[in-house]
Structure 1
Amino acid sequence: MSEGLEIKEGRHGRGVYAARAFAKGDAVESCPTLEVPGDSVSGMLGDYVFGSAEDENEVILLLGYGMLYNHSYEANCEYIQDGPRLITFVTLRDVEAGEELTIDYGEEWWSTRNLEPDP
Structure 2
Amino acid sequence: MYLPTAGFEIAETDRYSGSMKREACIIATKEWHVGDEIRHCSGTLVSLTTEEERALEGGRDFSIMWSSRKDTMCLLLGPARFVNHDCCPNTEFISSGQNAIAFKFLRDVAIGEELTAYYGDNYFGAGNEECLCATCER
TM-score, length of structure 2 as denominator length: 0.72
Query: SS in structure 1 opposite 2:104?
Result: strand
The CA deviation at 1:102 is 0.5
Letter in structure 2 aligned against 1:48: S
Do residues 14 (structure 1) and 24 (structure 2) align?
Answer: yes
In structure 2, the gaps of 5 or more residues are 17-22
Do residues 40 (structure 1) and 52 (structure 2) align?
Answer: yes
Query: SS in structure 1 opposite 2:110?
Result: coil
Q: Deviations over 1:77-97 (max 9, x none)?
A: 110223311112111011111
Distance 1:22 1:34, change over 3 A: same
The CA deviation at 1:55 is 5.0
2:129 and 2:60 map into 1 onto residues whose CA distance is: 16
| Range with bigger deviation, 29-38 or 71-80 | 29-38
Query: SS in structure 2 opposite 1:39?
Result: helix
Query: SS in structure 1 opposite 2:59?
Result: helix
In structure 1, the gaps of 5 or more residues are none
Q: CA RMSD in A?
A: 2.4
Do residues 64 (structure 1) and 78 (structure 2) align?
Answer: yes
Q: Which has the larger radius of gyration?
A: 2
Query: SS in structure 2 opposite 1:50?
Result: strand
1:55 and 1:38 map into 2 onto residues whose CA distance is: 14
| Range with bigger deviation, 11-20 or 91-100 | 11-20
Q: Deviations over 1:3-40 (max 9, x none)?
A: 11111112133111111111111111332322221430
Percent of residue pairs identical: 32
Count of residue correspondences: 118
Query: SS in structure 1 opposite 2:10?
Result: strand
Give the aligned partner of residue 24 of structure 1: 34
Distance 1:100 1:35, change over 3 A: same
